[in-house]
Chain A
Amino acid sequence: MAYDKFDILTSTAVPLPIENVDTDQLIPARFLKATERVGFGDNLFRDWRYNGDDTPKPEFVLNNPVYSGKILVGGKNFGSGSSREHAAWAVYDYGFRCVVSSFFADIFRNNCLNIGVLPVQVSPEFAEKIFEAIFADPNTELEVNLADQTITLLATREKEIFEISPYKKHNMLNGFDDIDYLQSIKPEIEEFAAQLPL
């Protein structure tokens, strides 16, 4: 599925300074039973967000009206665990277009890139600065510029450059996906398959 182009995103952000946020927290397994990609945002962080009787837990950041925005800022090793793309879908469906962390788990990062959510890895120091700025003023805005590969704290203009492969960057800037590319080289793939050892 092709996705929206990603260019420059300027938004407030939601802080979640917890390390090792795993995919079972992002979307618990019991909410993986859909056969279509709909409604996953409602269950993002389900068990941190709601009590057993479905009443909201007021202390959780997504239930705090002070914090909002299209950017989620997480702690180190964000998205560890399962390969469920549903975790990235839940992040997207809730309304986030970018996740910032000082370290991402591999599969989650890949899944995000494949559906048009930009994972931005920053240094631990810059992550700390972002958290401090948001906690001091929840209206703090971040600017994520994909073309320049920069993330900026707008209030102070402090910025950092982030890494992304030129191929993925081109895809996200244009809303292209890998399947379009792979389809275009199908004859080459078929030829390759014929000479394999297994």
Chain B
Amino acid sequence: MSKTLFDKVWDTHVVRKIEGGPDVLFIDRHLIHEVTSPVAFLGLKNRGIKVLFPERTFATADHNTPTINQHLPVADPLSANQLKALESNSNEYGISHWGLGHQKNGIVHVVGPEYGITQPGATIVCGDSHTSTHGAFGAIAFGIGTSEVEMVLSTQCIMQPKPKKMRINVNGKLGLGVTPKDVALFIISQLSTSGATGYFVEYAGDVFENMTMEGRMTVCNLSIEMGARGGMIAPDETTIEYVKGREFSPKGESWDRALAYYRTLKTDPDAVFDKELTFDGSSIEPMITYGTNPGMGMGISKEIPDAEHAEGGATTYAKSLGYMGFSEGDSMIGKKVDFVFVGSCTNGRIEDFRAFTALVKGKHKADDVTVWLVPGSHIVESQIKEEGLLDILNDAGFVLRQPGCSACLAMNDDKIPAGKYAVSTSNRNFEGRQGPGSRTMLASPLVAAAAAITGVVTDPRTMMQDLETANA
């Protein structure tokens, strides 16, 4: 019988099927961080059970960590306590721990791929909804709750009903200034924040085939923002080239066996999806959100839709725009920006910083904008320095912070103050997400760069055309 990519990976990992219930799914790689794991370890202790396969779990601290002065003790006692718990639990159960200060420390969904923990055709889970990132490699990767973290620690399995399958095709040439983030925000704006709930998505079409691994990670990362548990892209030569030789990638004969498996990972031509959607990539503009969920996004040159054209009830829509201080029919161009955040598991990789730097090169940061540039890992941080980006950024009035989740969810001190507006390359614009009362506009690193220079929401294409003319 014909199978989709998702079917192939899922079926390979089903230990047993329960009559009238979920499948018992084996998990190849388990990532943990300090926020969603402590209660799971407490559960193990209470039951008096061990971690079944400690070599399949990897721990990194990221949600709570400060992004300046990481060499100093963590000032917030609650954060410090969680970081300590991750370390002591990892040590007690024999799990690799990349804590604050460790060379491999960084955002869990950035370091996983960097070190080859993420592999095509693997099942990967983490107590974090943006685990969908790893689907970029053709893995089944999704976020789980703490009870499930305990299940994976104790038995390397979780119990999941098999989701429905959706394929999203995007073909065509992307326009100037249109990045993978814009493609993802566009799709979410078309489906709404719940349009893919109950589905696992496969992204297909030449737009994704032509994307780098980092671009694919950005797209898959945002799958959860339309309600999908995860999204995946079939592995190809780009994927294999990325994975080969990384620290935890298979080596020697194991690599040959793995490669043979990777090559099987594509949807059969006549396989059937429960739902299939197709979009024209050339119609996508640089995107920006205007509301309080990631589905409330639009092309940056457009106007905020009327309630009658918006998904969701009129009351909810009005509450959302009221929170943002925007009105139906407003243009986003020219809106005041107080903060710019570049980073997170969505857009905290080297290509994101290259794009940001290319746009701000030779210009200067707007005086009344605070800009936080937060690399996703120490590798990204080193690349920024080694490639000479840091010098360009410093000359333009920017400083670089240290790796972590930072203002994406504002668990550390990187909080946007109440009422202030942030253009953010992260993944959620929920009320208070970036700090109590904060107002978030999600966008690409290019839109973030344009805002950082001008102090208002600006179409980056206007600045890129200048660049192209200057270079001609």
Bound pair (A, B): yes
A interface residues, Cβ below 8 angstroms from B: 1, 17-20, 22, 24-25, 28-30, 32-37, 47, 52, 75-77, 80-86, 88, 103-107, 110-111, 114-115, 165-168, 177-179, 181-183, 185-186, 188-190, 192-193, 196-198
Decide: A188 and B35 in contact? CB cutoff 8 A. no
| Chain B residues near A84 (CB-CB < 8 A) | 35-36, 127, 145
Shortest A131–chain B CB gap in Å is: 11
What are 21 A-B pairs at a CB distance below 8 A? A19-B316, A20-B293, A24-B430, A33-B411, A34-B38, A35-B82, A35-B85, A80-B193, A83-B131, A83-B143, A84-B36, A111-B145, A165-B21, A179-B151, A181-B159, A182-B24, A182-B154, A196-B13, A198-B119, A198-B121, A198-B258
Decide: B46 and A18 in contact? CB cutoff 8 A. no
Q: Which of B214-222, B279-287, B432-440 contacts A (4 or more CB under 8 A)?
A: B432-440
B273 within 8 A of A: no
Query: A24-B433, A198-B121 are known contacts. Are A32 and B411 too (CB-CB below 8 A)?
Result: yes
CA distance A10 to B300 in the complex (A): 50
Shortest B225–chain A CB gap in Å is: 8
CA distance A33 to B36 in the complex (A): 9
CA distance A193 to B144 in the complex (A): 21
Decide: A115 and B147 in contact? CB cutoff 8 A. yes
Shortest B232–chain A CB gap in Å is: 16
Interface centre among B128, B157, B158, B258 (most CB of A within 10 A): B157
- Pick the contact of B129: A25, A107, A189, A190 (CB < 8 A): A107
Decide: B193 and A28 in contact? CB cutoff 8 A. no
Decide: B145 and A88 in contact? CB cutoff 8 A. yes
Decide: A106 and B197 in contact? CB cutoff 8 A. yes
Decide: A47 and B436 in contact? CB cutoff 8 A. yes
Q: Which 5 residue pairs of A and B lie closest in terms of their CB atoms, listed nearest first? A: A167-B21, A166-B20, A83-B143, A85-B145, A33-B78
| Chain B residues near A111 (CB-CB < 8 A) | 145-147
Decide: A35 and B261 in contact? CB cutoff 8 A. no
Shortest B296–chain A CB gap in Å is: 9
Decide: B159 and A182 in contact? CB cutoff 8 A. yes
Query: A30-B410, A178-B147, A198-B250 are known contacts. Are A83 and B127 too (CB-CB below 8 A)?
Result: yes
Decide: B18 and A167 in contact? CB cutoff 8 A. yes
| Chain A residues near B52 (CB-CB < 8 A) | 186, 189-190
Shortest B239–chain A CB gap in Å is: 14
Decide: B258 and A197 in contact? CB cutoff 8 A. yes
| Chain A residues near B35 (CB-CB < 8 A) | 32-33, 84
Beyond A24-B431, A165-B22, list 7 extra A-B contacts (CB 8 Å).
Answer: A33-B82, A81-B428, A81-B430, A105-B227, A179-B147, A193-B53, A197-B121
Decide: A167 and B154 in contact? CB cutoff 8 A. no
CA distance A189 to B193 in the complex (A): 36
- Pick the contact of A77: B36, B155, B193, B409 (CB < 8 A): B193
Decide: A106 and B229 in contact? CB cutoff 8 A. yes
Shortest B242–chain A CB gap in Å is: 16
B150 within 8 A of A: yes
Using a CB-CB cutoff of 8 Å, which residues 430-472 of chain B contact chain A?
Answer: 430-433, 436-437
B102 within 8 A of A: no
| Chain B residues near A77 (CB-CB < 8 A) | 193-194, 197, 227
| Chain B residues near A105 (CB-CB < 8 A) | 194, 197, 227
| Chain A residues near B18 (CB-CB < 8 A) | 167
Decide: A179 and B150 in contact? CB cutoff 8 A. yes
CA distance A159 to B211 in the complex (A): 51
| Chain A residues near B293 (CB-CB < 8 A) | 20, 22, 80
Shortest A82–chain B CB gap in Å is: 5
CA distance A188 to B18 in the complex (A): 14
B313 within 8 A of A: yes
CA distance A168 to B22 in the complex (A): 9
Decide: B129 and A83 in contact? CB cutoff 8 A. yes
CA distance A47 to B157 in the complex (A): 36
Report the nearest B residue to A110, measured CB to CB.
Answer: B145
B6 within 8 A of A: no
Decide: B24 and A76 in contact? CB cutoff 8 A. no
Query: A33-B64, A84-B36 are known contacts. Are A197 and B20 too (CB-CB below 8 A)?
Result: no
| Chain B residues near A25 (CB-CB < 8 A) | 430-432
CA distance A28 to B261 in the complex (A): 42
B246 within 8 A of A: no
Interface centre among A86, A115, A193 (most CB of B within 10 A): A193
Query: A182-B157, A182-B159, A186-B155 are known contacts. Are A196 and B42 too (CB-CB below 8 A)?
Result: no
Decide: B20 and A167 in contact? CB cutoff 8 A. yes
B198 within 8 A of A: yes
B290 within 8 A of A: no
Decide: B155 and A189 in contact? CB cutoff 8 A. yes
CA distance A107 to B43 in the complex (A): 20
Decide: A168 and B143 in contact? CB cutoff 8 A. no
| Chain B residues near A190 (CB-CB < 8 A) | 52
